Amino acid sequence: MQTKINQLLKNQKNAHLFYSYRGMQNYIRNTVAYILAGIKAGDSIILIENERMLPHLLRELKKYLTKNEMDKIHRINNFDFYFSSGSYHPPAIFEHINNTIKPYRENNITFRTWTHVEWSTIDGPLAIVEELERGVDQLVSDLNLVVMCAYEEERMPESLRLTLLRTHKFILTDDDILISEQYIEKVEN
């Protein structure tokens, strides 16, 4: 998978990727591959992850990375990130995104993000998710960012999956990277 990620990013200045994962082993394997590809490319990593998964990921990453390379991984609790205002609120999330990436941009440090998106009622806030993902897609385009958004497939209703396919140009499967046929690029008026 590292090779496919590197090939995609060799020809792309930016990428907004959607990963619908099945099971912890696939999730860990693909998260690690994405992070290793980023580190090997010279990027720092912003890893927005939950507290349950983080120890598993770090243990696996330590098998491949030096201490200096591990130091290039900036970890953020995904609950704190998405609910910093007390609810899943896109303006607060965008403020958090801007505050997170500001030091990297100011210091010309290349980076990519891996974001594990989850909440207890994943089938409720479709309009909010679409607003957030459309905004992230625009940010990715405007600032030439690489952003991976990972959602657990078992907890995702079909309506959410379709929204995510419309708001992400690239889809990571357990074995490949595809271009979303449903992707709709936002057109500015």
pLDDT tens-digit map of 69-122: 999 999 999 988 877 665 667 788 888 899 999 999 999 999 999 999 986 555
Collapsing DSSP states into helix, strand and coil, what is residue 47?
strand
Strands (E), the chain: 15-21, 44-49, 73-77, 111-116, 146-152, 170-172, 177-179
Short-list 141, 61, 72, CA closest to 104: 72
User: Is 34 within the bounds of a domain?
Assistant: yes
Residue 84: the pLDDT is 64
The whole domain housing 62 covers: 2-179
User: Is 184 within the bounds of a domain?
Assistant: no
Most confident of 24-38, 114-128, 151-165: 24-38
Q: Which residues pair with 17 in a beta bridge?
A: 148, 170
Record the tokens describing residue 182, joined without a space. 């449903």
For the domain that residue 17 is a member of, what is the CATH number?
A: 3.40.50.300
Q: Which residues does 17 contact at the CB level (< 8 Å), separation at least 6?
A: 146, 147, 148, 149, 168, 169, 170, 171, 172, 177
User: Is 187 within the bounds of a domain?
Assistant: no
Residue 4: the pLDDT is 84
CB atoms closer than 10 angstroms to residue 161: 15
User: Is 189 within the bounds of a domain?
Assistant: no
More confident residue, 65 or 124: 65
The burial class, CB within 10 Å (0-12 / 13-18 / 19+), for 120 is: exposed
User: Is 172 within the bounds of a domain?
Assistant: yes
Mean pLDDT along residues 46-70: 97
As a whole number of angstroms, the distance between CA 111 and CA 143 comes to 11
Residue 141: the pLDDT is 93
**Mean pLDDT of the residues in the chain:** 89
Q: How many distinct structural domains can be found in the chain?
A: 1
Residue 187: the pLDDT is 54
Judged by phi (left if over 0) then psi (alpha if -120 to 50, else beta), residue 142 lies in: alpha
User: Is 62 within the bounds of a domain?
Assistant: yes
Short-list 86, 82, 158, CA closest to 115: 82
Strands 111-116 and 170-172: unpaired
